[in-house]
Amino acid sequence: MSSKTLKKGYEPGEVERRWYAYWEAEGLFHADDKSTAPPYSIVIPPPNVTGALHMGHAHNNTLQDILCRYHRMLGDNVLWMPGTDHAGIATQNVVEKVLAEEGLDRHQLGREAFIERVWQWRREYGGRIIEQLKRLGASCDWKRERFTMDEGLSRAVRTVFVRLYAEGLIYRGNYIINWCPRCLTALSDLEVEHEDHNGHLYYIRYPFEKGEGWVVVATTRPETMLGDTAVAVNPDDERYQLSEGAKVVLPLMNRGIPIIHDRYVDTGFGTGALKITPAHDPNDFEIGQRHGLDVIKVIGDDGRMNENAGRFQGLDRFECRDEVLKALEEEGLLEKVEPYQHSVGHCYRCRTTVEPNLSKQWFVKVEPLAEKAIAAVEQGRTRIIPDIWTKTYFDWMRNIKDWCISRQIWWGHRIPAWTCQDCGELIVDMEAPEACTACGSGAMKQETDVLDTWFSSALWPFSTMGWPDQTPTLTTFYPTSVLVTGFDILFFWVARMMMMGLQFMDDVPFRDVYIHALVRDAEGKKMSKSKGNVIDPLRVIDKFGTDAFRFTLAAFAAQGRDIKLSEERIEGYRHFVNKLWNASRFSLMHLETFEPNKTAIDVSRLCVADRWILSRLDHVAETVRTALDDYKFNEGAGALYQFVWHELCDWYLEIIKPVLYGSQAGQTAADTPSAAREMTLAVLWCVLSETLRLLHPFIPFVTEEIWDKLPGTHGSIMRAHFPAGGQSRRDEEAEQIMALVMETISGIRNIRGEMNVPPGLLVHALVQSADEKIRGVLQHHREMITNLAKLETFEVAPPGERPASCATAVFSQGTIYVFLEGIIDFQAEQDRLTKEIAKIEKELRGIEKKLGNTSFLTKAPAQVVAGVKEKKQAFVEKREKLEKHLNIVKELLAAS
Q: What are the backbone angles phi and psi of residue 227, rounded to the nearest 5°? A: -105, 15
Q: Which range touches RNA (CB under 7 A), out of 127-135, 242-250, 454-462, 630-638?
A: 630-638
Binding RNA by CB under 7 A: which of 85, 635, 705, 829? 635
Q: Which is nearer to RNA, 574 or 693 (CB)?
A: 574
Question: Where in 370-399 is the site for RNA (CB under 7 A)?
Answer: 388, 391-392, 395-396, 399
Cα gap 394→379, rounded to integer Å: 13
Q: Closest distance between RNA and the C-beta of residue 119, in Å?
A: 32
Q: Closest distance between RNA and the C-beta of residue 589, in Å?
A: 6
Q: Is the peptide bond before 509 cis (omega within 30 degrees of 0)?
A: no
Strand order in the sheet with 417-420: 426-428, 417-420, 444-446
3-class DSSP state for residue 482?
strand
Is 429 near RNA (CB under 7 A)? no
Question: Where in 472-511 is the site for RNA (CB under 7 A)?
Answer: 488, 491
Binding RNA by CB under 7 A: which of 361, 578, 689, 703? 578
Binding RNA by CB under 7 A: which of 50, 219, 382, 453? 219
β-pairing, 403-404 vs 383-385, is: unpaired
Q: Closest distance between RNA and the C-beta of residue 540, in Å?
A: 15
CB atoms within 10 A of CB 497: 26
Q: Which is nearer to RNA, 484 or 748 (CB)?
A: 748
Q: Closest distance between RNA and the C-beta of residue 835, in Å?
A: 6
Q: Which is nearer to RNA, 165 or 581 (CB)?
A: 581
Specify which residues 275 forms β-bridges with.
231
Q: Which is nearer to RNA, 468 or 711 (CB)?
A: 711
Q: Which is nearer to RNA, 187 or 444 (CB)?
A: 187
Q: Which is nearer to RNA, 42 or 176 (CB)?
A: 176
Q: Closest distance between RNA and the C-beta of residue 657, in Å?
A: 6
Is 325 near RNA (CB under 7 A)? no
Q: Closest distance between RNA and the C-beta of residue 885, in Å?
A: 17
Q: Closest distance between RNA and the C-beta of residue 861, in Å?
A: 5
Is 855 near RNA (CB under 7 A)? yes
For helices 862-895 and 826-851, the axis angle rounded to 10 degrees is 150
Q: Which is nearer to RNA, 327 or 874 (CB)?
A: 874
Q: Closest distance between RNA and the C-beta of residue 8, in Å?
A: 5
Is 654 near RNA (CB under 7 A)? yes
DSSP for 193-249, written as a single string = EEEEEEEEEEEEEEEBSSSS-EEEEEES-GGGGGG--EEEE-TT-TT----TT-EEE
Residue 271's closest CA among 221, 216, 333, 232? Answer: 216
Is 268 near RNA (CB under 7 A)? yes
Binding RNA by CB under 7 A: which of 50, 634, 680, 769? 634
Cα gap 440→283, rounded to integer Å: 42
CB atoms within 10 A of CB 826: 19
Q: Which is nearer to RNA, 326 or 526 (CB)?
A: 526
Question: Where in 89-148 is the site for RNA (CB under 7 A)?
Answer: none
Could you tell me how many residues of this chain bind RNA (CB under 7 A)? 96
Q: Which is nearer to RNA, 650 or 821 (CB)?
A: 650
Q: How far is CA 581 from CA 41, 73, 621, 701, 808, in A?
A: 32, 22, 20, 11, 38
CB atoms within 10 A of CB 558: 15
List b or e across 630-652, with b for residues whose CB sees 16 or more CB atoms inside 10 angstroms: ebbbbbbbbbbbebbeebbbebb
Question: Where in 741-800 is the site for RNA (CB under 7 A)?
Answer: 746, 749-750, 752-754, 756, 758-759
Binding RNA by CB under 7 A: which of 52, 649, 828, 840? 649
Binding RNA by CB under 7 A: which of 98, 661, 798, 893? 661
Evaluate whether 767 touches 778 at the Cβ level (below 8 Å).
Answer: yes
Q: Which range touches RNA (CB under 7 A), out of 89-97, 498-506, 622-630, 864-872?
A: 864-872
> Quick one: CA torsion of 43, 48, 51, 53, rounded to 10 degrees?
-10
Is 861 near RNA (CB under 7 A)? yes
Task: Draw the binding track, 246-265, toward RNA (x: CB under 7 A; -: no contact).
Answer: ------------------xx
Residue 65's closest CA among 558, 716, 700, 546? Answer: 700
Task: Draw the binding track, 829-848, toward RNA (x: CB under 7 A; -: no contact).
Answer: ------x-------x--x--
Binding RNA by CB under 7 A: which of 326, 575, 721, 773? 575
Cα gap 8→586, rounded to integer Å: 10
Is 821 near RNA (CB under 7 A)? no
For 352-411, strand residue ranges (E) read 355-364, 383-385, 403-404, 406-407
Q: Closest distance between RNA and the C-beta of residue 575, in Å?
A: 3
Cα gap 832→814, rounded to integer Å: 18
Is 551 near RNA (CB under 7 A)? no
Task: Provide CB contacts within 8 A for 65, sequence distance 6+.
Answer: 80, 136, 137, 138, 139, 550, 697, 700
Question: Where in 336-375 is the site for RNA (CB under 7 A)?
Answer: 342-343
Q: Closest distance between RNA and the C-beta of residue 409, in Å?
A: 22
Question: Where in 666-695 is the site for RNA (CB under 7 A)?
Answer: none
Cα gap 91→801, rounded to integer Å: 85
Binding RNA by CB under 7 A: which of 58, 95, 253, 583? 583
Evaluate whether 130 touches 84 at the Cβ level (below 8 Å).
Answer: yes
CA of residue 228 relative to chain centroid, distance: 47
Q: Which is nearer to RNA, 589 or 893 (CB)?
A: 589
Is 13 near RNA (CB under 7 A)? no
Q: Which range touches RNA (CB under 7 A), out of 139-147, 402-410, 568-576, 723-731?
A: 568-576
Cα gap 123→745, rounded to integer Å: 64
Binding RNA by CB under 7 A: which of 93, 306, 582, 779? 582
Binding RNA by CB under 7 A: which of 274, 385, 738, 886? 274
Cα gap 512→382, rounded to integer Å: 5
Amino acid found at 588: L
Is 468 near RNA (CB under 7 A)? no
Question: Where in 177-216 is the site for RNA (CB under 7 A)?
Answer: 189-190, 194, 196
3-class DSSP state for residue 648?
helix
Binding RNA by CB under 7 A: which of 9, 27, 339, 380? 9
List b or e across 261-296, with b for residues whose CB sees 16 or more CB atoms inside 10 angstroms: bbeebebeebbbbbbbbbbbbbbbbebbeebebebb
Is 572 near RNA (CB under 7 A)? yes
Q: Which range touches RNA (CB under 7 A), out of 73-81, 421-429, 466-474, 861-869?
A: 861-869
Task: Draw the binding track, 58-97, toward RNA (x: CB under 7 A; -: no contact).
Answer: ----------------------------------------
